[in-house]
Amino acid sequence: MLDSLLLAIGLLLILEGLMPLLAPGQWRALFRQILTLTDGQLRFIGLIAVAGGLLLITVVQ
């Protein structure tokens, strides 16, 4: 179980690091756009991400 959790965190860090590594200018522009979103919009994006992750986990298992 711990191995799976650490693997998932490692993959997350790899995916999160790809955009600033490969396209730092676009990543900075995207980050500026994210800063202009309202709390409600950010919560909705978070909800979609959580639901998508749960769906993916359910399908894979």
User: Do residues 20 and 12 make contact, with C-beta atoms less than 8 angstroms apart?
Assistant: no
pLDDT tens for each residue of 1-32: 898 899 999 999 999 999 999 999 999 999 99
Average pLDDT over residues 46-54: 95
Residue 35's pLDDT band, with cuts at 50, 70 and 90, is: very high
C-alpha 51/C-alpha 61 separation (Å) is 15
pLDDT of residue 18: 95
Q: Angle at Cα 13 formed by Cα 7 and Cα 14, nearest 5°?
A: 90
State both tokens at 32.
Answer: 């500026």
Q: Report how far residue 39's alpha carbon sits from residue 23's, in angstroms, rounded to the nearest whole number.
A: 26
The pTM (predicted TM-score) of the whole model is 0.72
Domain segments of the chain: what residues?
A: 23-61
